[in-house]
Structure 1
């Protein structure tokens, strides 16, 4: 028994007063309406209606059931209407997970511009460099940086992410500028602990091994700290250009071995479902695409470094 359909049939009979008009309103037959009401009475174990040839009358139990059932259906209709509106117009709370350094440097303006375009959307952005479980932790979308691996999640590439190896002019004057990967064995390394290890980052692995062997490395899970340490002359680091680009363009850092620049990674918007995607999520992902430019604005002062998109 479809309890919602049966309940709606009963309420319509009471509102219209006769089975025929209730059937006409629900675009069905009087026989089916009568069957629904009988099923409901059998299910509840009480008589809800006293029937005559001309009109139906509520019993005491029927009157109580009618009041509660009417409220339940009104609430259900209201809820479905609100959900339908959310699909048509972006609204509600959008929960975003984003990498710390990227978000603090480049996300605020985008969020403000997005909210101006979609004022009915509230934003809750949580910063974390670990890969969150967006389903378990209740996020609508996560921004991730890397070489995206196969996943049950859906991803949209937002921008390329260059990785540049750099050090301060003072450090290079004191320790020498590497001219080949073999020269990296003699240098201090500022190591980002979440850096992916794959074949495109073999330079990173060489520096990591050299730093570990000679106890001349600094390790952190935050790229901003490592860039500041590099500016202070602490060593060589490999960081995304969205963190290092401004300091490279200003001359506070120099790019090392640009011909060995790793393959670019990507900034991705990751979400759980492609079908029945809430408008707030769909609008946010569409808004992000192209927002940072092509190439991204943080790379436009780096013409002297090798660019490989």
Structure 2
């Protein structure tokens, strides 16, 4: 008779391309993986895996077991979560997806703090500026900044977040301060390539008149890493458009100067996206969302 440990072991085997990769994932030796797989096959009197020179493939029976194992283990996790929920305890696995730079700076520290407070909880954090939205339902919470990719998810605003045009004092001393959006075409502009957005079209609205202007910049420098383009701007190489959360500190310290302050760029609010409504939300998700609102809502980038 096989048990839940066998199912978890085989799920790991099925999710890797070789027994060596499985051994690395479980931090054991390859011979021990081979031995354990043989014991499992002997228990079932079935061949589950075809071994190739540098890879493995599942037999028909192996595919069936992997699929059933995933369902059974998910049901067991749900059962454990339900038991803990009856006691108002936080347990299970909290899965969070967040943008790379923001997630590294603000979400990762929050997650370690939250997990340390709830010892029956494990947390999976993935950081990506170009996530696979087809897997949206596999996450408990998705942190999103700016344009929303999916309107079917439940939205909870964590903090308002403006976008600023800015450059270093050295750049302004050398090239001058643009007085209107059209003059941006005469300046060195830097683009951040992320989320498949049209990053070379800068749209802005005059604060007093409400008139809008769209300027197509021709960036001399571009990168998919926000830290890189911010450093380029501070080094005097050009003008950037960045989120308030990312440049507020540098503006306050004088390393960057905000440009065209009479104009506003589209907001890029920081939100949490969830695939369940409040009543169906697991305790771990509900409590972490509350903590997110407390910390991110206070705008720690101004501290």
Does residue 222 of structure 2 align to residue 202 of structure 1? Answer: no
Larger radius of gyration: 1
* 1:284 correspondence with 2:288: yes
> How far 1:79 moved relative to its partner?
7.6
SS at match of 1:273: coil
**Contact 1:188-1:217 at 8 Å conserved across structures:** yes
CA contact (8 A) 1:97 1:141 kept: yes
Q: Quote the Cα distance in structure 2 between the aligned partners of 1:267 and 1:134.
A: 21
Give the secondary-structure state (helix, strand or coil) at the position aligned to 2:284.
Answer: helix
In structure 2, the residue corresponding to 1:290 is in which secondary structure? helix
Distance 2:78 2:178 in 1: 64
Structure-to-structure mapping, 1:1-309, within 5 angstroms? 82-87=80-85, 88-133=88-133, 135=135, 138-148=138-148, 151-194=151-194, 196=197, 201-203=202-204, 206=214, 209-211=216-218, 216-274=219-277, 275-294=279-298, 296-299=299-302
Residue 265 (structure 1) shift: 2.0
Match for residue 43 of structure 1?
none
Provide the secondary structure at the position in 2 that maps to 1:202. strand
Q: How much does 1:194 deviate? A: 2.6
2:130 match: secondary structure: coil
What's the secondary structure of 1:161's corresponding residue? coil
2:138 & 2:109 partners in 1: Cα distance? 24
Query: What is the alpha-carbon root mean square deviation over aligned residues?
Result: 3.0
Q: What's the secondary structure of 2:231's corresponding residue? A: helix
- Kindly tell me: are residues 83 and 108 of structure 1, through their superposed partners in 2, closer, same or farther at Cα, counting changes over 3 Å? closer
Alpha-carbon distance change, 266 to 78 in structure 1, aligned in 2, over 3 angstroms = closer
Q: 1:278 to 1:115 in 2, by over 3 A?
A: same
CA contact (8 A) 1:241 1:299 kept: no
Matched position secondary structure for 2:237? coil
Moved more, 239-248 or 162-171: 239-248
Q: Is there any run of 5+ residues in structure 2 with no aligned partner, and where?
A: 1-74, 206-212
In structure 2, the residue matched to 1:60 is none
Gaps spanning 5+ residues in structure 1: where?
1-76, 301-309
Determine if contact 1:86/1:278 at 8 Å carries over to the other structure. Answer: no
What is the number of residues matched between the two proteins?
218
Q: For 1:228 and 1:247, how far apart are their aligned partners in 2?
A: 10
- Secondary structure of 2:138 counterpart: coil
Separation (CA, whole Å) in 2 of partners of 1:113 and 1:292: 14
TM-score (norm 2): 0.64
- Residue matched to 1:48: none
Deviation (angstroms), 1:175 = 0.9
Q: Cα distance 1:97–1:135, how it changes in 2: closer, same or farther (>3 A)?
A: same
